[in-house]
Amino acid sequence: MINGESTESTVAVGTKGAMRVVVRTTGRAAHSAYPELGDSAISRLVTLLADLEGLNLPSDPVLGATTINIGAISGGVADNVIAPAAEARLMARLVTPPHEVLPLLERWAAGRATLEPGVTVPPVRLSPVDGFPTSVAAFATDVPSLTNWGTPYLFGPGSVHVAHTDDEHLSVDELHRSVDAYVRLAQAAVRRLTE
């Protein structure tokens, strides 16, 4: 099975996993003219998120470092009200099993916020293929869900560096070269089955 994610026409020898987490803080609403009567959930959340950079997150010699992105922040009800609730949506890029990262986040949030873990995809190690340059994908893929389809490979033209942007593109020349590369990759996979 070949997953055609953009790998700049290299065969990925590993892909990071992913774990979504919603972080929620609570406070007490009050008129903003009297901040001493309230407790800002947004201030609590901002302070907590600033501490993310100090976490000692796992790393792996092949897959690299675990990273966490703060993808979205929301909260409050109006600019003249102390915010009674706030939340942030995080995406952790995993290099170890999720059960090694979630407890770190739980200790980080303990007593300051609640966590709601969401969709989680484990990191995956993949095999190199003779004749193909290799890479490591810092993104998560569907490969862990497709193992019943045979040995998974991760290969595709284009760069993930422009994915999800207004400049997402693939050159026609690289697209043409990838057709031959997919044929060679399929032939290599068949050879592995017969060896």
* Contact yes or no for 60/95 (Cβ under 8 A): yes
Does 30 lie in the same domain as 8? no
- Residue 183 has, within 13 A of its CA and on its CB side, a CA count of 5
According to DSSP, the residues that pair with 72 across neighbouring strands are 89
Q: Which of 93, 121, 149 is the last residue of a domain?
A: 121
Q: Which residue has the higher pLDDT, 93 or 1?
A: 93
Does 28 lie in the same domain as 116? yes
Does 163 lie in the same domain as 106? no
Whole-number pLDDT of residue 52: 95
125: CB partners within 8 A, 6+ apart = 13, 14, 62
The CA angle 71-165-18, to the nearest 5 degrees, is: 40
Confidence check: pLDDT of 28 > 90? yes
Does 113 lie in the same domain as 153? no
Q: Which of 121, 154, 175 is the last residue of a domain?
A: 121
The range of the structural domain enclosing residue 115 comes to: 17-121
Does 147 lie in the same domain as 116? no
Does 172 lie in the same domain as 112? no
Q: Which residue has the higher pLDDT, 188 or 146?
A: 188
Tokens representing residue 175 in the block? 């697209």
Does 21 lie in the same domain as 96? yes
Distances (CA, A) of 112 to 18, 60, 103, 105: 24, 29, 15, 11
pLDDT digits (tens, 9 = 90+) for 119-175: 999 999 998 998 999 999 999 998 888 878 788 999 999 999 998 889 989 899 999
Q: How many domains does the structure of the chain reveal?
A: 2
Does 161 lie in the same domain as 149? yes
Does 144 lie in the same domain as 170? yes
What share of the chain in percent tops pLDDT 70? 100
Q: Which of 121, 152, 181 is the last residue of a domain?
A: 121
Confidence check: pLDDT of 185 > 90? yes
Does 40 lie in the same domain as 7? no
Does 130 lie in the same domain as 103? no
